[in-house]
Structure 1
Amino acid sequence: MSVVDTVVSGSLLVAAPLAFAAGVVSFLSPCVLPLVPGYLSYVTGLSGAELAGEPDTAAARRRGTADGDVLVEAEVSAPAARTRVLVGSVLFVLGFTAVFVAYGAAFGALGESLFRYQDQISRVLGVVVVVLGLSFLGVIPGMQREWRMHRLPKVGLWGAPLLGVLFGLGWTPCIGPTLGAVQTLAFTEASAARGALLSAFYCLGLGLPFVLVGLLYRRALGAIGWVRRHSLVVMRIGGGLLVLIGLLLVTGLWDDLTIGLRSWAGSFGVWL
C-alpha cells in the first residue's frame, strides 16, 4: 500500500492535518519562535546581518590572525548565504524529525500490542491530552517549567543535525503538550509505520516554517514580531485544539469521526 493510500484509507485522513497544525502551533509558541533567529545563526554559522543579506563588517573586523593583525575576509555572497541557510535549516529539521518519528513509531507499536484495550486506553489518554491543552493555556500552574539542553554542538552546518537531535530530546513544555497529543494519536493508529508517518506530519508543520523563515529572513522578522506580540492568541488556539482532540478521544467521537471519513474517502471512484 502506498503512502497516499495509507493516509486516505483510515484515521490518518483527519489525524495528519491535525498533527501538521500542532507542529505549526509548536513553532509559533513563545518558547520556540523567539529562539528561531538564534538557531538559524547557530546552524548556518552566519550572523543576523548576513542572514538578512546585509554586510557584516563588524564580524569581519573581529576575525584576526595569530599575531593580532586583522584578517579581512570576503563577504558571503547572497546566493551562497541562501544555500547555506537552506542546507543548515534542513539538516536541523532532519535532526529533530529523526527523534520525533522514532517516538511516533514507538507509540504506534505500543498501540498495536495493546490493541484489545485500545478503546479504554484512548479514553484515558484523551484525559491526558485535555490536561496538556489546559497546561498550554496556562490554566494549570506549575506546568510551564522549561527544560532545555545547554550543551550545544559546534556552530555551523556540521553541528546542525546534532543540534536538531538535542532540540528534539530537550523539548520545552510549549512543545511537550502538542507533541504529546500527536503521540496519543499515534498510539490510536495501532501501527508503528502509521505512528511514524503521523509524527512526520508534525515535524513538517514544525520544520517547514523554520526553513521558510531562514530563506525569507528579512521579511520574516516583521511577521515574527507580530506573532510574539499576539502570543496569547496563539496559545489559546493551540490549547483549544488540544482540549478538542482530548474531548473527542474521551467521548469516543474520534473513532466515529474517522470511520465516517474513511467511508467518505472510500466512496470516491476513478471516472474514465
Structure 2
Amino acid sequence: MNDIGIFFALAGGILSFFSPCVFPLLPAYITHLTGGKIEDSKLLVNRTTLYLRSIGFIIGFSIIFVALGASASFIGQILSEYRVLIMQIAGLLIIIFGLQMAGLLKFKVLMKEKRIQSEQKSKNIFSSILLGMAFATGWSPCVGLALSSILLLASSSDTLSQGVFLLGAYSLGMAIPFLIISIVISYSLKTIRTINKYLAKLAVVNGMIMVGLGFLVLSGQMQKISAWLSAFSLFDL
C-alpha cells in the first residue's frame, strides 16, 4: 500500500489545507502564531519569527497526526485476522466521507465542528509546537473527513510503519502549502483572496479523490496496484 497510499495521503493533506473551513482562517492563525498584524493588505511580522514559528506549528500538528496514524495502524495490527472486513468497512466509510466533502451528501453528524481555542499567543517555537498540537486536535469538520479517511487507510495497512508514513505524508501535504502561503501573505493578502474563489471547487476535487481511494480500498485493488508498483520498481533496479 505504500506507494499509492502515500500519494493519496499527500494529496489529501494538500487539499485539506485548501478546504473552505481552514484556508480562509489562515491570516488569523498566522497573526495569532507570530504576534504580527494585518496592515496595508499584508502581514507585518519579522520574517525570522514567521519562519521559526511556522516550522514549530508544523512540527506540532505533525506530532499529533503521526501519533494518530501509529495508533490506527496498531489497532489494525491487533485485528489483523479481520483485515479484509476492516478494509471493506474502511473503503465504504472513505467513500461516504468523500461524498460528504464533495457536498453530495449532507449528514449532519459529519458536519459537527470541534475547535480548541488558545487565547494565549505564541511566544517562541516551543509554544508554537503546542499551538500546532492544539490546532490538530481541534480540527475542523471538512479536514476531519479527509484525515479520518487517511486514518482508516492506516488502520488497514500491513505494518505499523506504513501507518506512520501515511500520516507523515498527510502532514507534509499540509506543511508545504502552509509554509509557502505564510511567507506569501507577509508580502500581500491578494493571494488569499484569489484562492478563496476556488475553494468550493477544490473541496469537490478533494472529495472525489477520497471517493476514488475508497473504491480502491473497498475492492481490494489498492493492494494489487501497490504490489504491481513494487514489482515494477524492482524490475527497474
Question: TM-score, normalized by length of structure 2?
Answer: 0.92
Measured at CA, do residues 159 and 152 of structure 1 come closer, stay the same or move farther in structure 2, by a change above 3 Å? farther
Shift of residue 53, structure 1, vs aligned partner? 6.6
Aligned to 1:145: 112
Gaps of 5+ in 1: 1-10, 55-75
Q: 1:116 aligns with which of 64, 76, 81?
A: 81
Pairing 1:18-167 to 2, within 5 Å after superposition: 18-49=8-39, 52=42, 81-141=46-106, 142=108, 143-157=110-124, 158-167=126-135
Gaps of 5+ in 2: none
Higher mean C-alpha deviation, range 118-127 or range 131-140: 131-140
* Helix, strand or coil at the partner of 2:114: coil
Shift of residue 216, structure 1, vs aligned partner? 2.1
8 Å CA contact retained: 1:149, 1:166 = yes
Aligned to 1:263: 231
Aligned to 1:57: none
Shift of residue 205, structure 1, vs aligned partner? 0.6
What code does the residue aligned with 2:71 have?
A
8 Å CA contact retained: 1:95, 1:164 = yes
Whole-Å separation in 2 of the counterparts to 1:160 and 1:50: 26
Whole-Å separation in 1 of the counterparts to 2:116 and 2:175: 19
Larger C-alpha radius of gyration, 1 or 2? 1
What code does the residue aligned with 1:155 have?
S
* Helix, strand or coil at the partner of 2:76: helix
What code does the residue aligned with 1:130 have?
I
8 Å CA contact retained: 1:23, 1:204 = yes
Higher mean C-alpha deviation, range 12-21 or range 235-244: 12-21
Quick one: percent identity of the two aligned structures? 28
Whole-Å separation in 2 of the counterparts to 1:164 and 1:38: 14
Whole-Å separation in 1 of the counterparts to 2:41 and 2:73: 39
Whole-Å separation in 1 of the counterparts to 2:152 and 2:188: 32
Whole-Å separation in 1 of the counterparts to 2:48 and 2:40: 12
Shift of residue 50, structure 1, vs aligned partner? 9.4
Whole-Å separation in 2 of the counterparts to 1:219 and 1:230: 21
Shift of residue 105, structure 1, vs aligned partner? 0.5
Aligned pair count reads: 234
Pairing 1:239-250 to 2, within 5 Å after superposition: 239-250=207-218
Question: TM-score, normalized by length of structure 1?
Answer: 0.80
Shift of residue 234, structure 1, vs aligned partner? 0.5
Aligned to 1:225: 193
Measured at CA, do residues 49 and 159 of structure 1 come closer, stay the same or move farther in structure 2, by a change above 3 Å? farther
Pairing 1:203-214 to 2, within 5 Å after superposition: 203-214=171-182
Deviations 1:151-170 (A, max 9, x none): 44333335311111111111
What code does the residue aligned with 1:149 have?
I
* Helix, strand or coil at the partner of 2:141: coil
RMSD: 1.9
